Amino acid sequence: MEPVYVQLEKYKRGLITRREYFKRLAALGVATPAIMTWLETGGVSAAQETATIAPEFPPQDEIDSKPIVFRGWAYEPTVVEDNVRIFEEQFTENVDYQTVSGDYDLIIDTMQINNEPLDMFYGHEIGIGRYILQGQLLDYSSWWDFERATAEMLPAFTEAWTWRGDGKLYGLPYFSSVRGTIMVNTAYTEKAGLDTVQLTTWDDFYDLCRQMKADGVVEYPLLNHWFATPWATAWQFLWENHNRGIDLWDFEDAYKPLFGGDHESTKTLETWAGLFADGIHPESSFNMSEGGYVDGFATGDFMFSPQQTYDGKRLNDPAMSQIAGLVDFAAPPEGAPWGKIEQGGYLLPKRERTDQQLARVYRHNSFFGYRDINDELFVAKRWAIDHALNSSYSAILEDPDVLAAYAEWMPGGERQFNDMGQYFRQAVWNPFHQCPWFLEWQIPAKEELESAILGRKSPQDAMNDLASATNELWERYRDVILSNQG
Amino acid sequence: MAELSPASQDQSSRPRRFGLGMTDARFGLLLSLPVAAILILLNLYPFLYSFWLALRDIDLRFGIDEFTGLDNFRKTLESQDVRDAMWRTVKYSVQVTVYSTLLGLGMAILLNEKFHGRTLLTALILLPWAVSTYAAGIVWRFLLSTETGLFPAVLFRLGITDRPPNLMNIDTALTWIAIAHTWHIAPLGVFFMLATLQVIPQDLYRVGRIDKLNAIGRFRHVTLPYLKAPLLIVLILNTISAVNVFDLIYFTTAGGPGAATRVMTYEVYTTAFLNLRLGLGAAEAWLLLILVILVTLAYVRVLYRKEKKISTGEAAA
């Protein structure tokens, strides 16, 4: 059957009735039970009560005079501009796309607080908590393709975009990754006589690092996720404890911290301090920027490093890496999560809009975050093929064109591609990412965790001090969070 | 030998008169009025507004806005993080001021000599000052990087260390940023002082030689009296630049490792702009402002005392 927009065009031209139009939507799997109810009740005003709005758009003169406002960070803006052009051509649309330079999150926060005109912006799943608390984010539940799209996403990734307070979806996937994917410099595994690196637990992995040091394979076997950016060390602490099954938070009590000096997570920090003290890990990582951290591994000085999945391409690029063609993934543990889900998404700011205007924004956002006029995952596939940005749409992870593109830079070929898929399918989402004071927490976390790793504080003292700083945040925001989560 | 200062060269102590019967002091005041008015307008409002913010608990991210009186100041003064950041600011400022002033003075004296290539050297010395702080931060981060940096590589290649060292460790990072800051701002002082050095009458040096003064003696009794005013201005500018450092740290270490380079401006940035707690951030900024005012007052006092001493000496003579 022809896609949704063709059906709409026919309906607009009077070639089919409104009832027929919605029936065809239903046949495409687009119409929700609410639309079917509207049909059953004869369509009298019931549409106004439905959660799903119809894909009906403003007249062309309104589209021409009022662009959709899209803001994003400055990643490959020429590709995005081209995608915008394709969208405009496919739908005779009008988009004002600009990149935001500087402190992206802060500028977007300010735009949100000031209620500036904005229809779509890039965001991470860790940001939705604070936007929702500000009452400045709109969910996608009334989008006509909502059910079909969510059915195609990997569940844990969908869950990450779903606000715990109301169970609604607040983001469509731009890129998806597993931060913490263990990159392996195969020059050293070959030297060590290792065919593959199979992960089991973090402790076993660190033991392997120690063994490599003891065997003289490499001076610094490990480049952990400990770099200068405020969130780096804090994030690994969160995901590693989560992978270890250690609970840091009471999610039912507004993210009350459960940790302190005598908590199980202190052992994680002790292990980290031991890695540094025993020369398994260099001190220089603490001054690296995020890009410098990837480039640091690309120097070939290290054997293992938890990185973003998509950075595998950069690390295997001869123009950017001294170990191009040598960077494989360690095989993730069987049936257990490793690392953390990380996603960029297309978020929809809450603004005054008519249903038609909202439909127009949904059409725009879903072109980027779901399918184009030809019902293709066009944008997601383009990012995957050209830039190795993964997607939480399982179809992308299984697409032969994507596999062929990845095989060009993956030294492990299809096996490595499948390992990547396994990282994705086993990845978990940490509900703390939705904590509205997540950003505030990262600051003391960086300070305390790094002080302990570098031996300036005992892990117990660092965890006690971090607990104290965290409790201040928890007490300050507890009521406002509980009142928003019901 | 008596100090031969520029003031002692002034032959007239009577106030000159311009048109409209104004003294030069009044005429100078009149010329300064437009600038003063603009400065007051541009500074007074934010100055008062920041104080108003400091009296409120404003948390943009969570929509909190309450009058809390002096509570933000109490929290700021009680905060161990703020105390640590303040101490780091003092350590950093002392280093930058001393390094940049001495380096600036040394380079100014060097450029005051006549030698081949002086013009080229003058241009080269000016270059770091012309570079944006962002670029300076990035360049120094790369120079110091253990994995890809020039300095660690040189130390390693020369056999001074057995592997490229981590220069920016938790103990040394602040000092290395102070060195980078010095590299960036020292040229400003060079030109302040060089301009003064070039107007010192050469006769005074000849008199000094007749009086059998060696190089140090000539510097102390001829050069230094002339340099006192520009030196104090350079000290003030360098100190304020050091106390207000932010971008250089932002682009090199982002406050780390741990909190090793988290100075007061970074603390204010974190509170006010990352956490969007404007009231608390404003209170912290006021503490920083008080520090800047105290340092500036101390310098001005020294300058004023010196000038007073000079003019008293002249009167006695």
Q: What is the pLDDT along chain A (486 residues), one digit of tens a residue?
A: 554 444 554 554 455 555 565 555 555 544 444 344 433 433 333 333 337 899 999 999 999 999 999 999 999 999 999 999 999 999 999 999 999 988 898 899 889 888 999 999 999 988 888 888 888 999 999 999 999 999 999 999 999 999 988 899 999 999 999 999 999 999 999 999 999 899 999 999 999 999 999 999 999 999 999 999 889 999 999 999 999 999 999 998 999 999 999 999 999 999 999 999 999 999 999 988 899 999 999 999 999 999 999 999 999 999 999 999 999 999 999 989 999 999 999 999 999 999 999 999 999 999 999 999 999 999 999 999 999 998 999 999 889 999 999 999 999 999 999 999 999 999 988 889 999 899 899 999 999 999 999 999 999 999 999 999 999 999 999 988 888 764
Q: Is residue B96 part of a domain?
A: yes
Residue B172 within a domain: yes
Of A385, A381, A351, residue with least CA distance to A369: A381
Which H helix or E strand runs over A96?
Answer: strand A95-100
CATH superfamily for domain A180-340+426-485: Periplasmic binding protein-like II (3.40.190.10)
Peptide bond into A117 cis (omega under 30): no
Residue B175 forms part of a structural domain: yes
CB atoms within 10 A of CB A353: 15
Chain A residues close to B274, C-beta within 8 Å: 106, 230, 439-440, 443
Residue B14, domain member (yes or no):
no
CA distances from B78 to B72, B74, B284 (A): 10, 6, 11
Are the Cβ atoms of B254 and A286 closer than 8 angstroms? no
Q: B73, B297, B144, B148: which is closest to A321 by C-alpha?
A: B148
For residue A119, how many C-alpha atoms fall within 13 Å in the half-sphere facing its CB? 23
Q: Does A133 touch chain B (CB under 8 A)?
A: yes
Q: How many Å apart are CA A199 and CA A194, to the nearest integer?
A: 13
Q: For position B246, which CATH number holds?
A: 1.10.3720.10
What would the two tokens of residue A354 be?
């008519």
pLDDT in tens, B10-22: 445 555 655 567 7
Nearest Cβ partner for B166 among A229, A283, A301: A283
Q: Is there a contact between A419 and A399 (Cβ–Cβ < 8 Å)?
A: no
| All residues at 6 or more sequence positions from B226 whose CB lies less than 8 Å from its CB, including other chains | B5, B6, B196, B197, B199, B200
Inter-chain residue contact B141 with A292, CB threshold 8 Å: yes
Number of domains within chain B: 1
d(CA A440, CA B183): 34
Residue of B nearest to A127 (CA): B61
Q: Are B230 and B193 in contact (CB under 8 A)?
A: yes
A140 CB-near residues (< 8 Å, 6+ apart): A146, A168, A169, A170, A171, A172, A348, A362, A365
In this structure, what DSSP letter does residue B277 have? Answer: B
Residue B147 lies in a domain: yes
Which among B144, B163, B258 is the nearest to A447, CB-wise? B258
Q: B249 is written with which tokens?
A: 């740290």
The SS3 call for residue A76 is coil
User: CATH number of the domain at A61-178+342-405, please?
Assistant: 3.40.190.10
Give domain limits for chain A. 4-49, 61-178+342-405, 180-340+426-485
Predicted local distance difference test score (pLDDT) of residue A397: 85
B167, B146 in Cβ contact below 8 A?
yes
CA A131, A393, A310, A235 torsion-angle sign: positive
Nearest beta carbon to residue B145 from set A292, A443, A480: A292
Lookup result for tokens 């050209």: A386
Structural domain includes residue B145: yes
Q: Across the interface, which of B62, B169, B259 has its CB nearest the CB of A480?
A: B62
Do A209 and A280 meet the contact criterion of CB atoms below 8 Å apart?
A: yes
How far is C-alpha B161 from the geometric centre of its chain's CA atoms?
34
Is there a domain that residue B27 lies in? Answer: no
Alpha-carbon distance B166 to nearest alpha carbon in chain A (angstroms): 5
Residue B153 falls within a domain, yes or no?
yes
